Amino acid sequence: MTDNSRACKTWAVTLVAAILVAVARFGASGGDEAASINLVWIATVPVAVLGYLDAHYLVSERWFRKQYCEFVNRLHTRSLDRQLMFVIQAPKASLKNLLRAIFSPTIWPVYWMMIAAIFAVHQLA
């Protein structure tokens, strides 16, 4: 899960940088200024999509770690049921868990800084 989270951040930075470079290039070449300003806001799409996906991976990772800890505790207290030994439940979707993940220190600084960069480029364009 951690590798997926890293990949989300890598792709988000790459896509946002590419879009902002394209805006700077076309804006500097005498292109339509309104079109270049609108292109700046297109950079928020990968931030939103990949930020959500990154938060989803964090929620899943926390859920699986919780299940692992419960399994180990049951194993050590000898209260593990053989029928449930190989059962892994999928993470439960919850807005509360998703919001906690979005505002975690591993996610919000990266994506909010990208949004700040997009806003700064918009102001300069």
- In which domain, by residue range, is 89 found? 2-124
User: Which pLDDT does position 74 carry in this prediction?
Assistant: 83
Q: What pTM was computed for the model?
A: 0.80
pLDDT of the chain, 125 residues: tens digit per residue: 778 899 999 999 999 999 888 877 776 555 566 665 677 788 899 999 999 999 999 999 989 888 888 888 888 888 877 777 777 777 777 889 989 999 999 999 999 999 999 888 888 76
Which residues are CB-contacts of 47 (< 8 A; sequence separation ≥ 6)?
12, 16, 111, 114, 115, 118
Domain count, the chain: 1
Measure the CA–CA gap between 106 and 120, rounded to whole angstroms.
23
